[in-house]
Amino acid sequence: MKGAKLFFDCLVKEGVEVMFGYPGGAVIDIFDELDNSPIRFILTRHEQGAAHAADGYARASGKVGVCIATSGPGGTNLVTGIATAYMDSIPMVAFTGQVPTSMIGNDAFQEADIVGITRPITKHNYLVTDVNELPGIIKEAFFLAGTGRCGPVLVDIPKDIQQAQTSMTYPNKAEIPGYSPVYTGHPKQIEQLAKAIKQASRPILYVGGGAVASGAAEELRKLVAKTSIPVTTTLMALGVFPETDPVSLGMLGMHGTKYANYAIMDSDLLIAVGARFDDRITGKISEFAPHAKVAHIDIDPTSLKKNVRVDIPVVGDVRRVLKDLNKIVKPGQIGPWLKQISQWKKKFPLTYESKGDIRPQYVIEQIHKMTGGRAIITTEVGQNQMWAAQFYTYTEPRTFLSSGGLGTMGYGLPAAIGAQVACPDRVVFDIAGDGSIQMNIQELTTAVTNSLPVKVAILNNGYLGMVRQWQELFYKKNYAGTVLVGNPDFVKLAEAYGAGGIRVTEKKEVVPALKKALKYPGPVLIDFRIAPEENVWPMVPAGVSIRQMMSGLA
Amino acid sequence: MRHTISVLVENKFGVLARVAGLFSGRGFNITSLAVGETMDPAISRMTIVVDDQGSPQIMEQVEKQLNKLINVIKVQDFTGGESVDRELILIKVKTTTNTRSEILEIARIFRARVVDVSLHSVVLEITGAVDKINAILNLLTRFGVKELVRTGKIAIARS
Ligand SMILES: Cc1ncc(C[n+]2csc(CCOP(=O)(O)OP(=O)(O)O)c2C)c(N)n1
Ligand SMILES: [Mg+2]
């Protein structure tokens, strides 16, 4: 069998249903076999779009996302998408074509050392040098991408390998001597954690993306049902615990709620669950949770003690560890703490000025209302992302998809496309900025041609708003490079792509426009002209203690 | 502080680049690196000597990340621990009729082997732990060292 045909055989055996990508000379043999395989192919209009779509598909479904690109520029165009998935530990396998093995290293046409380039942004990567190794490598790639701490894996396949004949078949198992993630937490450590919970009077659960990845939402709810410990989540974990619950504190960190940050700072037991103490969470690290004993549950030993001291480390899969913990855990005496927290929640709610121009927060609240909180929200990066995190109430995991670690503008639209492919029956909204949307706007074509009815809500402030906010607050309003003069007419642009376009310039039009968009049968873009200089509050300036939150509205 | 790290890896292409990348990405300079197959030809051992530049925590993180590399099977830090280490050097020292016998005498005391002699130089092979190597280097410098080649340190755990 030809390598290219075997490639699809392997994917089918792996259970792959869809592949996002873009062709070129070095993958033409693979594309030649495409129609003979049951795999659905979605042609994006840029390889970055393919990588983000595979990532969005993975985040929404929990399955491994797959993308493909040609050698050279095809591969380099994937790079941002791969790095995005790597920073957020998203399971993905990226395939690239490569020049024939005999030409590697010769600066051949469209040659790039994509294995070298992606080494620091993949969990692992492969250059296939023998067609007989292709099935084993593909097996390993999927195994690595989707187990342990998940992440992207790249497989680079030279053209002659795709053309070569082999009689190898897909193996049942991958065996990698140096790879054996620890799934079960050490019982002694879990006992210690249970004991600490029993003794703590001001405990808090700080939950990150690892809880989503391991499918721990249910165990987390059980733990809270048993102990009433308040929960704050990172951007990566929004929805893993219902924000409607009285002990939910929403998001913490730089643009987190005041009550989440206060609770962290006053806690005496901080239980980090699949989170990694990112600087956007901790602020000044030496002043983070100063009174707390720290417990940390994570599948990746390198996450433990990386930037904070940890008193009770538990290496293991979050879901399994919580399950084991739930068997023995007993609640502590935390009545006064819960009272304090509910007072903070009352005193410092997320709020905004509602007079005058359209407020982005209002738009998001309305999207929440009109979708019954059942939509999948993707975001671009910037203020739009933070408002989407703050003002939509998330109640389920895998419903908020956003580039957390890398902060990639241009993520939202292709990710929405991937999510819509994974969840055809759900409403998918990309909450966008006028800057970010232009980084992958070409994917509107992909949505239109594949009948993927994603909704794009541009919070159009005419600025690279988040950068402008920093310039306003810390750089004496020197708005250098952040004024988006010459933005296109987004409505016409959407229509040119064959999508629907709606412009909203007044508050009273917001709801009717959303109604129209939700009824619209295909992809649709809404250009919300929002208050141009609206800021994201609260805010902890970079590098200071998270107790020191600035706010626009007292 | 200097660390001697022994890393068992799969014997595959690209592994060295992955290992080296963890150090170079943090601006750590590798002092020496020795690689060779183990009894099992599918597995190689790397012995890496590296300075932690005053951040032992970062070194600890690097070691954890080494462990995390898919092709890495085992990582041991021999620093201050129970291990024996050796390095082999080849050194070409200038000689004259006046100095030759003194050089050969030093070589004899240090159990160095003379592996090549010419009219104006002699090549010595010396094996030993760092102290011994440094000691003989100190003694030979004043005669004029034309070339020095070192294997880098290798280390093994004591039984
Ligand atoms: C690819 C990329 N380039 C630059 C940045 C830096 N950056 C962060 S937020 C931001 C502004 C985004 O503007 P817009 O999409 O209009 O969103 P807004 O903040 O106005 O809601 C920029 C430029 C980034 N995150 N990603
Ligand atoms: Mg903007």
- Chain A interface with B: residues with Cβ < 8 Å: 115-116, 119-120, 123-124, 127, 129, 144, 176-179, 300-302, 305-306
Is B62 found in the same domain as B101? no
Total domains, chain B:
2
Dump pLDDT digits (tens) for B49-83. 999 888 888 888 889 999 999 999 999 999 877 89
Judge whether residue A553 has pLDDT over 50. no
Q: Which atom of ligand 1 is nearest to the CA of A407?
A: 25
- The CA-atom distances, in angstroms, between A347 and each of A100, A243, A247, B123 are 65, 17, 15, 81
CA–CA distances in Å: residue A164 to residues A89, A266, A434: 34, 64, 47
Q: Which two tokens stand for residue B63?
A: 């070691």
Which among B18, B60, B65 is the nearest to A119, CB-wise? B18
pLDDT (tens digit, 9 = 90+) per residue, A409-435?
Answer: 999 999 999 999 999 999 999 999 999
Question: What value does the mean pLDDT take over residues A296-315?
Answer: 93
| Ligand positioned closest to the Cα atom of A439 | 1
- Say what the pLDDT of residue A552 is: 65
Residue B54 shares a structural domain with residue B34: yes
Nearest CB partner across the interface for A176, out of B21, B61, B70: B70
pLDDT of residue A265: 96
pLDDT value at residue B159: 82
What residues flank ion ligand 2 with Cβ within 5 A? A 433-435, 461, 463, 465
Quick check: B52 and B3 in contact, CB under 8 A?
Answer: yes
CATH number, position B21: 3.30.70.260
Residue in A120, A177, A306 nearest the CB of B21:
A120
Structural domain span for residue B58: 2-77
Identify the residue among A104, A302, A304, A310 best suited for mutation to test binding to B, counting B beta carbons within 10 A and taking the highest: A302
Q: Among residues B38, B57, B77, which one ends one of the domains? A: B77
Distance between CA atoms of residues A312 and A270, nearest Å: 10
C-beta separation of A378 from A193 below 8 A: no
Ordered domains of chain A (ranges, CATH): 3-163 (3.40.50.970), 187-347 (3.40.50.1220), 360-529 (3.40.50.970)
Atom of ligand 1 nearest to the CA of A80: 1
Check whether residue B72 and residue B88 sit in a common domain: no
CB–CB contact B70 A116 (8 Å): no
Q: Which CATH number belongs to the domain containing residue B133 in this structure?
A: 3.30.70.1150
Q: Are B113 and B137 part of one and the same domain?
A: yes
A159 catalytic residue (yes or no): yes
Asked if residue B129 and residue B96 are part of one domain, the reply reads: yes
Residue A127 to residue B65, Cβ atoms within 8 A:
no
Mean pLDDT over A485-489 rounds to 97
Return the pLDDT at A34.
97
* A110 catalytic residue (yes or no): yes
User: Which DSSP category does B112 fall into?
Assistant: P
> Which residue would you say has higher pLDDT here, A117 or B25?
A117
Contact A123, A86 (CB under 8 A): yes
Nearest C-alpha of chain B: how many angstroms from A144?
9
Peptide linkage before A538 cis (omega within 30 of 0): yes
Q: Note whether B55 and B106 are same-domain residues.
A: no
Q: Which residues in chain A are contacts of B9 at CB distance < 8 A?
A: 178
Q: Looking at the structure, tell me whether residues B134 and B68 fall in a common domain.
A: no
The reported pLDDT for the residue numbered B57 is 84
What distance in Å separates residue B114's CA from the closest CA in chain A?
42
Boundary-marking domain end, from B46, B77, B108: B77
Q: Quote the minimal CA–CA distance from B147 to chain A in Å.
A: 33
- Whole-number Å distance between alpha carbons of A94 and A7: 13
Q: A528 C-alpha to center of ligand 2: Å?
A: 11
Strand runs labelled E in A333-476: 376-379, 400-401, 428-433, 455-460
| Residues B126 and B63 both lie in one domain | no
Residue located nearest, by CA, to atom 5 of ligand 1: A409
Average pLDDT over every residue of A229-241: 98
B46 touches chain A (CB under 8 A): no
Task: Among A80, A409, A460, say which to mutate for ligand 1: greatest number of ligand atoms within 8 Å of CB.
Answer: A409
Do B70 and A301 make contact, defined as CB atoms within 8 angstroms? no
Indicate if B87 and B35 belong to the same structural domain.
Answer: no
Specify whether B94 is located in the same domain as B136.
yes
pLDDT value at B27 more than 90 = no
Q: Which ligand is nearest to the CA of A468?
A: 1
Task: Check CB contact of B40 with chain A, cutoff 8 Å.
Answer: no
Is the per-residue pLDDT at A328 higher than 60? yes
State residue A273's pLDDT score: 98
Share of chain A above pLDDT 70, in %: 99
ipTM greater than cut 0.90 = no
User: How large is the average pLDDT for residues A355-378?
Assistant: 97
pLDDT value at B26 more than 90 = no
| C-beta atoms surrounding A31 within 10 Å | 18
Tell me the per-residue pLDDT of A41-100, one tens digit each, with 9 for 90 and over. Answer: 999 999 999 999 999 999 999 999 999 999 999 999 999 999 999 999 999 999 999 999
- Residue where one domain finishes, among candidates B77, B96, B112: B77
- Domain co-membership, B72 together with B133: no
Ligand 1 atom having least distance to the Cα of A387: 21
- Is the separation of the CB atoms in A441 and A435 below 8 Å? no
Q: Give the number of the ligand closest to the Cα of residue A381.
A: 1
Averaged pLDDT, A329-346? 97
Q: Of A225-234, B21-30, B110-119, which gets the smallest average pLDDT?
A: B21-30
Among partner residues B14, B70, B71, which is closest to A115 by beta-carbon distance?
B14
- For the segment B97-107, the average pLDDT, to the nearest whole number, is 95
Angle between helices A47-61 and A412-422 (to 10 degrees): 50
Q: What is the pLDDT of residues A264-294, one digit of tens each?
A: 999 999 999 999 999 999 999 999 999 999 9
Q: A447 in helix, strand or coil?
A: helix
Asked if pLDDT for residue A554 goes beyond 60, the answer is no
- What's the whole-number mean pLDDT along residues A357-380? 98
Residues B101 and B71 in one domain: no
pLDDT at B33 over 90: yes
Best residue among A254, A466, A535 to mutate for probing ligand 1, ranked by most atoms within 8 Å of CB = A466
